[in-house]
Amino acid sequence: MLKLAHVWWLAAIILGAAAFFDARHRRWANATFWAIMTVVFAGGDAILAAHQAGNRLPTQIVGAAVVVLALIAGTGIMPRASTANVDAATSQAARLGHRLFGPALLIPAVTALVYIVAKYVPPLGPLLVETKQASLVALAVGCSVALVAATMITRSAPTQALRESSRLLDALSWAVVLPMLLAALGAVFAATGVGDAVASLVGMIIPTDSRVACLVAYALGMIVFTVIMGNAFAAFPVMAGGIGLPLLVKQHGADPAVIGSLGMLTGYCGTLLTPMAANFNIVPAVLLELKSQYGVIREQWPTAIVLAFVNTVLMYFLAFR
């Protein structure tokens, strides 16, 4: 049976390959960064088991490792690799043509198929995939199948995939791990009572007996927290716990489904505005070699403002019917 641990081991192989290739080329900061990530991913299950058994030392070591990662990234000793030498890849892409889309299309197709089998085809599904983490495991299977298809289409050795993964990781640099850290930060904020603090602050600033004021505070809060943390998933538990549930749903009787769905979409308007959403806004600028790393954001902000306004209006008319 495929489990979530297998996904982490697969990620550890890719990260470990990046560390190995960087060490061979004496890019020591990059190699150290990816090596730390490799150990954390490979030892994830053992670290969790030790924590559940009452041994806090492994998790404390992981916390120290995260601090080291931040220091490596923050001191600027881990520059992004150049993406300028792409002539060979461009030539091969022209030769292969539309066949290159095959592996990319296999990812969603295989992911959906594996997920459906895991969830809705008993007893076969639970024998193949860990059902509690079916979506993530299914995505890993889809990516693995696409990798095999890509090596067959391009007639490349499997090791070439590791080399290209290493090159891409060095091009993206530390920004590739930012979404994971920011999502974890949202869970930390929720667990430490930031939602309650937000509720108290909102109660002092706005008239909580006004549904319009509470709704605007919720929408703006989703945008602002998403801008800060770079991820609407990280912002949602804070704003839902601070404003969405206690004020909009319980006090004003709003439909929680509308508040949740449109609130998340409003949060994603903040994603369009922030460099903290590195995978959406900074990574494309690096890969496309734009003159400004904020070029993507400059093109997106008008859409973000209009969409946030429309979402807020829709929430008002749909949530309080």
130 and 189 fall within a common domain: no
Are 215 and 206 a contacting pair, CB within 8 Å?
no
DSSP-derived 3-state class of residue 43: coil
Are 260 and 315 a contacting pair, CB within 8 Å?
no
Report yes or no on whether pTM surpasses 0.85.
no
**Is residue 65 included in any domain, yes or no?**
yes
From 156, 189, 209, give the residue that closes a domain: 156
Half-sphere exposure of 151 (CA within 13 A, CB side): 14
66 and 94 fall within a common domain: no
88 vs 84, 95, 170, CA distance in Å? 11, 11, 19
For residue 227, count CB atoms less than 10 angstroms from its CB and return exposed for 0-12, middle for 13-18, buried for 19 or more: buried
Q: How far is CA 12 from the centre of its chain?
A: 17
**Is residue 310 included in any domain, yes or no?**
yes
Are 61 and 32 a contacting pair, CB within 8 Å?
no
Sign of CA dihedral 128, 132, 138, 140: negative
227 and 108 fall within a common domain: no
68 and 145 fall within a common domain: no
**Is residue 266 included in any domain, yes or no?**
yes
Q: What is the pLDDT along the chain (321 residues), one digit of tens a residue?
A: 788 888 889 989 999 999 999 898 888 899 999 999 999 888 877 887 887 788 878 888 888 888 898 888 878 787 666 555 555 556 666 666 777 788 889 999 999 998 888 888 877 777 777 777 788 888 889 999 999 988 888 888 888 888 888 888 887 777 778 777 776 776 777 777 776 777 777 778 888 888 999 999 999 989 988 888 777 877 888 888 888 888 899 989 999 999 999 999 999 999 899 887 777 787 777 767 778 888 888 889 999 999 999 999 999 999 987
Alpha-carbon gap, residue 6 to 2, rounded angstroms: 7
133 and 210 fall within a common domain: no
**Is residue 234 included in any domain, yes or no?**
yes
Phi, psi angle pair for 24, to nearest 5°: -65, -35
**Is residue 144 included in any domain, yes or no?**
yes
Alpha-carbon gap, residue 261 to 265, rounded angstroms: 6
Q: 280, 183, 191: which is closest to 229 by C-alpha?
A: 183
Q: Which residue has tokens 């890993």?
A: 140
Close Cβ partners of 15 (under 8 Å, ≥ 6 residues apart): 34, 35, 37, 38, 41, 169
225 and 293 fall within a common domain: yes
From 30, 45, 74, give the residue that closes a domain: 74
132 and 182 fall within a common domain: no
**Is residue 79 included in any domain, yes or no?**
no
From 52, 74, 96, give the residue that closes a domain: 74
207 and 125 fall within a common domain: no
Alpha-carbon gap, residue 96 to 90, rounded angstroms: 10
Instruction: List helix spans (H) across 240-294.
Output: 256-271, 278-281, 283-287
**Is residue 151 included in any domain, yes or no?**
yes
94 and 63 fall within a common domain: no
146 and 187 fall within a common domain: no
| Residue 292: domain span | 177-319
> How many domains are contained in the chain?
3
Alpha-carbon gap, residue 130 to 141, rounded angstroms: 12
Q: For residue 272, give the H/E element and its range.
A: none
101 and 225 fall within a common domain: no
64 and 106 fall within a common domain: no
| pLDDT at res. 219 | 93
